[in-house]
């Protein structure tokens, strides 16, 4: 299987879905020039300006137009450039797109994909570096996808485009250049299905997006010390794979939930609470969480580094969970 980058995988998924379904189209700022990260490079030349649409700089207008177009029967893919910028369009997404199917008694649906790049990347500072996945996982009516690999970016974006409900597809900016095996088939992924990235028996780490790679680095380091860590990549946060997590933790009897987003109020708290509620009688220790401090992301690289969750941080948290610190 040939390798492909995370960025190329997303572009390929969109192109294939546009070939398959003439109702699929994309809109956002600078898409004709390939998009801010070149995720759309060459697509306007291939599909035309009526299907790869350049818009004014107004996130609320972009989202509002897409919601109306989705309710009218098309399948728009909205590019928000940075998840931070999407906050200008939250009313259209949260109060309109997420609610319409329920409030109209199923007479209309909103088959809409919102691409929101997340995470710290090249000193992008406080307004371009946030990971806000927990906000959207909190909203009934929204699906939230957080791919960590090129194959998953491809398969989950395809699934998002084919979904009849609005999907917030959160790609991590620091993974654009990540190269890995392409998807084995052109089939869309299934929402709510996580995957075990590494088998282990000492503790289960539950994570998603770019943090998966940090967890795997930590697991490799701890493996040298004889500590065998299982790493679960959730792939989607809503729905999330409760069965996979609970089955794993019931075997390892210890759990650490880690993510790049701020720990306070993060989605890791939901997972940790679920594990505690369902498995408290089987655990050998409290469920641990690891996330970023509740602070704006600094511009200066040395200060930005202080907010990143590193493999060393994960190793220390694992040792605390195992009572070996």
Task: Report pLDDT digits (tens) over 102-152.
Answer: 999 999 999 999 999 999 988 889 989 899 999 999 999 999 999 999 999
- Residue 47 CA to residue 53 CA, distance in Å, equals 10
Q: Name the residue with tokens 């880690």.
A: 258
Looking at residue 123, its pLDDT comes to 86
- pTM of the prediction? 0.96
Surface-to-core class of residue 45, CB atoms within 10 Å of its CB (0-12 exposed, 13-18 middle, 19+ buried): exposed
Host H or E run for residue 295 = none
Count the alpha carbons within 13 Å of 151 in the hemisphere toward its beta carbon.
Answer: 12
List Cα–Cα distances, 9 to 6, 32, 176, in angstroms. 5, 19, 9
List Cα–Cα distances, 309 to 127, 135, 149, 171, in angstroms. 19, 20, 19, 18
Looking at residue 166, its pLDDT comes to 98
Torsion sign across C-alpha atoms 39, 93, 191, 202: positive
Looking at residue 104, its pLDDT comes to 95
Surface-to-core class of residue 10, CB atoms within 10 Å of its CB (0-12 exposed, 13-18 middle, 19+ buried): buried
| 165 torsion bin: left (phi>0), alpha (psi -120 to 50), beta (else) | beta
125 touches 133 (CB < 8 A): no
- What DSSP state is assigned to residue 207? E
Looking at residue 1, its pLDDT comes to 65
- Residue 78 CA to residue 39 CA, distance in Å, equals 12
Looking at residue 182, its pLDDT comes to 92
- Residue 71 CA to residue 282 CA, distance in Å, equals 47
- Residue 90 CA to residue 95 CA, distance in Å, equals 8
Of 128, 169, 172, 259, the catalytic one is 128
Q: Give the three-class secondary structure for 265.
A: coil
Omega within 30 of 0 (cis) for the link into 239? yes
Q: Give the three-class secondary structure for 167.
A: strand
Largest CA distance in the chain: 60
Surface-to-core class of residue 281, CB atoms within 10 Å of its CB (0-12 exposed, 13-18 middle, 19+ buried): exposed
Residue ranges, the chain, pLDDT below 70: 1
3-state SS of 6-69? Answer: HHHHHHHHHHHHHHHCCCEEEEECCHHHCCCCCCCCCHHHHHCCCCEEECCCCHHHHHHHHHHH
Assess whether 172 carries a catalytic annotation.
Answer: no
- Residue 86 CA to residue 258 CA, distance in Å, equals 24
List strand residue ranges (DSSP E) for the chain, in order.
3-5, 24-28, 52-54, 75-79, 113-115, 143-145, 167-169, 179-181, 195-198, 203-207, 229-233, 236-238, 255-262, 288-292
Q: Name the residue with tokens 């609610």.
A: 99
Please name the residues in contact with 216: beta carbons below 8 A apart, sequence gap of 6 or more. 197, 198, 231
């Amino acid at each position: 299987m040939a390798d492909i980058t995370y960025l190329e995988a997303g572009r390929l998924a969109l192109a294939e879905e546009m070939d398959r379904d003439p109702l699929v189209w994309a809109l956002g700022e600078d898409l004709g020039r390939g998009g801010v990260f070149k995720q759309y490079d060459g697509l306007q030349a291939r599909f035309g300006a009526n299907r790869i649409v350049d818009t004014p700089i107004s996130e609320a207008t972009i989202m509002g137009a897409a919601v109306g177009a989705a309710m009218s029967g098309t399948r728009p893919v909205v590019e928000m450039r940075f998840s931070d910028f999407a906050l200008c369009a939250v009313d259209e997404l949260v109060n309109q797109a997420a609610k319409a199917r329920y409030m109209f008694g199923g007479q209309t649906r909103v088959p809409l994909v919102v691409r929101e790049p997340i995470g710290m990347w090249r000193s992008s500072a406080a307004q371009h570096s946030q990971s806000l996945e927990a906000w959207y996982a909190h909203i009934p009516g929204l699906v939230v996808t957080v791919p960590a690999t090129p194959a998953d970016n491809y398969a989950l974006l395809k699934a998002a485009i084919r979904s009849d409900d609005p999907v917030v597809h959160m790609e991590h900016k620091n993974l654009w250049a990540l190269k890995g095996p392409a998807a084995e088939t052109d089939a869309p992924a299934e929402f709510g299905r996580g995957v075990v990235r590494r088998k282990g028996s000492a503790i289960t780490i539950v994570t998603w997006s770019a943090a998966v790679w940090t967890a795997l680095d930590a697991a490799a380091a701890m493996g040298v010390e004889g500590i065998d860590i299982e790493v679960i990549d959730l792939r989607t946060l809503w729905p999330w794979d409760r069965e996979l997590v609970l089955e794993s933790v019931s075997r390892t009897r210890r759990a650490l939930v880690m993510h790049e987003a701020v720990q306070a109020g993060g989605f890791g708290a939901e997972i940790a609470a679920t594990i505690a509620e369902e498995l408290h009688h089987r655990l050998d220790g409290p469920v641990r969480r690891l996330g970023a401090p509740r602070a704006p992301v600094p511009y200066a690289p040395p200060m930005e580094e202080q907010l990143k969750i590193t493999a060393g941080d994960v190793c220390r948290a694992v040792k605390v969970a195992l009572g070996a610190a």
